Structure 1
């Protein structure tokens, strides 16, 4: 199905309600929901939001593990011109407060595991006028009649706001619009053959572009969606077989756990058409273990929140052909509707084939910008529509993209983007630390993990410093170790030379991503 005639998300629901109202749209645990039922719930939620005074341009937030209510919130926001700022539930309390306040969220939907935390933070999120708990949600919906009439939307409206870690130490809200998300769904379907016969597994968290964009991919093409509350390896394996999943997106750390599930080699995965993986480096031992489980069906993908998800893919043919084994180190070819070039970071000029530079992306699936950050938006997106990814790499003669470093020092750990500036901001507040730099170092399970290099004339109590980090940062952002040095290497202008700091850790690796 082409989406060229569709201009907004509510039009998708309307189409499937008209064409297949009684077909199953969403399965979560023991609950099932048809397209007609999903549409009714979304319209009830739209009425409930309006009753709270929420309308065009407003934000709500969801703090929960995966649940259909978060997706319903996104779809209801799409209907009324508002946006759902999905909060990363792995964040530490100060980070959660920052995201909710930055989004200017007026309503907060909280899952059962987070009700106590949300109550404790209530006085620090004064803009939230109403908190709805999971236990109140169904009654809240039932108290409102489904909204009638056409949706109030514009293709350029942001309806979901996903937060990326910030290079200045604070996350940024990426404004993902109807236009961009529909373009992503259309472009991905060209490569991965998603249609009404597909059964799409949503295993990744909805705060992640690999969760929300994948869910919207299913909705865009009328596919049946099966959602997991948490990406547990055993649960993913069981669901792939039992639900006859045809399409899924997973991160390498999760796939590593799946290879260790007892009896996994005897499972029937024949229904799978496309197993996409990405968001962090794939260790070669994990790759070797997965290829026999999913022969001819593995697609490595490279993408970013700012582009609504996938921008390039390495097809199964390049996984299975020994003659092109070197391509396993690449991020594949640009998908349909995406241009990729490599530019010189300082000047923005194209570099010759094979030459190193910054990966630039141009596509209709780009975000509208960063919420309330015009300077950051202007720095990321050029006047002629190119997104500066911040990733370093090169293009080979066949057009394959190789991601070899991170221009902005971002660390990708187990599929999570971690910016050293966030960690450095916390460490700099610790008594006795005079200077600090955080780098990514290799890790067999997570691809890379943060490590702190500090200047501390009187030494440091590593356990105490790490405990301090855990109080202020999500666990995946906390350094996995601390090295004390006499001084940090700097260039003549005073900038820390992180490349020099990383070198001894990555000396035996071809790049930071393999």
Structure 2
């Protein structure tokens, strides 16, 4: 791997490439390839255009689009001004969209042309948005907006601790929360989270994961750091994936559901991806049959599993290629690997808040310079997330995951304190779904859980009890939820019971509900 440039600000990586390799390949998207010099000029123009609109340090913009290099350009442009880019999940339904955009406090909204009609429907509810810029298509406004701008450099007063990204993560209220990530958070992550995977100017990274996920944006930032060409596709689509492989992709980061689909597609599809030098996966557990099948079909590919969360800027543990092939410890294939450099871990009893004995299970608490500075406008939620340290160091971040560490330092994720469901790499927070189902007139009470699925890792299941003298077909409840939520959040299945199990204090026992669906080996995540 080439030496990584010194970086204090997130834009230092790209500026270095533009200076030292201006004609090298930066990004390929649709029919165009940008050089490092051209892409850096776009960053500076974008910053100049934002400045001309009155965007200053501390302000926020929002970007709603499928994968597009303009999203990465916008993020880096914000870095030059000390402002932040809130990247919005394009799969959200209308009432979710206006909530996130308004919560972000975005002054300018950039929207992909395919998604512009959904914004037209809620425009009158976007109370703080001063301007909307359509990106792409016949009605593109971005190019003319940039062409009229004067490029600018980093502005005086900009600090590495300025927030540069706001990424929305589901919250305990059932509404998403904006995770604030600083330039320093992302610089540290970029320098620490590549593991032993080799990247370089002769390689091509397939950038397929949605950029509204921290995994999509943080992975794409490895390109400027290493000088690696990024091949960006709009979304995870079989034809687009195959096109990327035919174009020479050497590195990829995907969710396990994609690998399961490739295995189902047959040997020809697996053979196409066997050209990869390195394959990274994460965002959801990889079912063992799928993982073993991939290792068998791709014997010359280096494998890397990653575990992390939005609140930690991305990756905090890595299961490297050697561990994937360690015949003496096959049980570690289901682990999350070991912490990356600069990351500290405690395993804490959720009742006493004291460290458990070595090898014991508890909530995973993390400390790293990657940790978020908090949730946007949510001081109480931030206080629940970040716990002050007794040693005078930085705060510990409560992950909400239950796990243990073996004698080799490998972390095993066993359950979740929070009721998060991960389906195909998408996070679904059960109270958000429960809140919607509870609005149906026939529903008395409901609990939403994740159940195992060989392709998606987990799928969403609702368990409901009806009001007296009420009953509806389960499909009606599924359709009801799909009208109000992104489809991946809506339950795939609905079970009807007379009453939900509860403990003496009245709390619904979701663990009891899960028992009928999860294997008996202890895994419930």
Contact 1:196–1:222 (CA under 8 A) maintained in structure 2: yes
Deviation, structure 1 residue 278: 1.0
Partner of 2:454: 444
Q: Secondary structure at the match of 2:115?
A: helix
Q: Secondary structure at the match of 2:308?
A: strand
Contact 1:2–1:186 (CA under 8 A) maintained in structure 2: no
Partner of 2:284: 280
Deviation, structure 1 residue 341: 2.3
Aligned counterpart for 2:339 among listed residues 334, 339, 342 = 334
Contact 1:330–1:400 (CA under 8 A) maintained in structure 2: yes
Distance 1:189 1:268, change over 3 A: closer
Contact 1:86–1:206 (CA under 8 A) maintained in structure 2: yes
Alpha-carbon distance in 2 for matches of 1:502, 1:479: 15
Contact 1:241–1:268 (CA under 8 A) maintained in structure 2: no
Partner of 1:424: 434
Partner of 1:290: 294
Residue ranges of structure 2 left out of the alignment (5+ in a row): 390-394
1:228 aligns with 2:233: yes
Partner of 2:103: 102
Deviation, structure 1 residue 237: 4.0
* Equivalent runs, 1:75-474 vs 2, <5 Å: 75-134=76-135, 135-148=140-153, 150=155, 153-245=158-250, 247-261=251-265, 263-267=268-272, 269-270=274-275, 272-295=276-299, 296-384=301-389, 385-456=395-466, 457=468, 458-474=470-486
Partner of 2:504: 492
Q: Secondary structure at the match of 2:443?
A: coil
Alpha-carbon distance in 1 for matches of 2:482, 2:371: 34
Contact 1:10–1:151 (CA under 8 A) maintained in structure 2: no
* Equivalent runs, 1:14-33 vs 2, <5 Å: 14-33=15-34
Cα deviations across residues 325-382 of structure 1 (Å, max 9, x unaligned)?
1111111111122122211112321111221111111111111111111111111111
Alpha-carbon distance in 2 for matches of 1:476, 1:149: 40
Alpha-carbon distance in 2 for matches of 1:465, 1:149: 51
Q: Secondary structure at the match of 1:144?
A: coil
Cα deviations across residues 292-334 of structure 1 (Å, max 9, x unaligned)?
2332511111111111111111111222233211111111111
Contact 2:81–2:154 (CA under 8 A) maintained in structure 1: no
Which deviates more from structure 2 when the two are superposed, residues 126-135 or residues 252-261? Answer: 252-261
Alpha-carbon distance in 2 for matches of 1:479, 1:244: 35
Q: Secondary structure at the match of 1:388?
A: strand
Alpha-carbon distance in 2 for matches of 1:66, 1:165: 21
Alpha-carbon distance in 1 for matches of 2:156, 2:76: 11
Alpha-carbon distance in 2 for matches of 1:301, 1:168: 28
Partner of 2:14: 13
Which deviates more from structure 2 when the two are superposed, residues 236-245 or residues 470-479? Answer: 236-245
Alpha-carbon distance in 2 for matches of 1:324, 1:299: 16
Alpha-carbon distance in 1 for matches of 2:191, 2:48: 30
Which deviates more from structure 2 when the two are superposed, residues 188-197 or residues 151-160? Answer: 188-197
Partner of 1:66: 67
Contact 1:237–1:258 (CA under 8 A) maintained in structure 2: no
Alpha-carbon distance in 2 for matches of 1:321, 1:414: 27
Distance 1:463 1:269, change over 3 A: closer
| TM-score, normalised relative to structure 2 | 0.93
Contact 1:79–1:151 (CA under 8 A) maintained in structure 2: no
Cα deviations across residues 168-191 of structure 1 (Å, max 9, x unaligned)?
110011111111101001111353
Deviation, structure 1 residue 150: 5.0
Contact 1:342–1:357 (CA under 8 A) maintained in structure 2: yes
Q: Secondary structure at the match of 1:109?
A: strand
Contact 2:208–2:234 (CA under 8 A) maintained in structure 1: yes
Which deviates more from structure 2 when the two are superposed, residues 104-113 or residues 486-495? Answer: 486-495
Which deviates more from structure 2 when the two are superposed, residues 310-319 or residues 471-480? Answer: 310-319
Q: Secondary structure at the match of 2:290?
A: helix
Deviation, structure 1 residue 132: 0.5
Distance 1:459 1:79, change over 3 A: same
Deviation, structure 1 residue 403: 0.4
Q: Secondary structure at the match of 1:455?
A: strand
Alpha-carbon distance in 1 for matches of 2:185, 2:368: 9
Alpha-carbon distance in 1 for matches of 2:497, 2:185: 46
Q: Secondary structure at the match of 2:67?
A: coil
Deviation, structure 1 residue 46: 1.0
Deviation, structure 1 residue 149: 6.2
Distance 1:232 1:6, change over 3 A: same
Distance 1:15 1:424, change over 3 A: same
Alpha-carbon distance in 2 for matches of 1:506, 1:288: 20
| Cα RMSD for the two superposed structures | 1.8
Deviation, structure 1 residue 194: 3.5
Deviation, structure 1 residue 484: 1.9
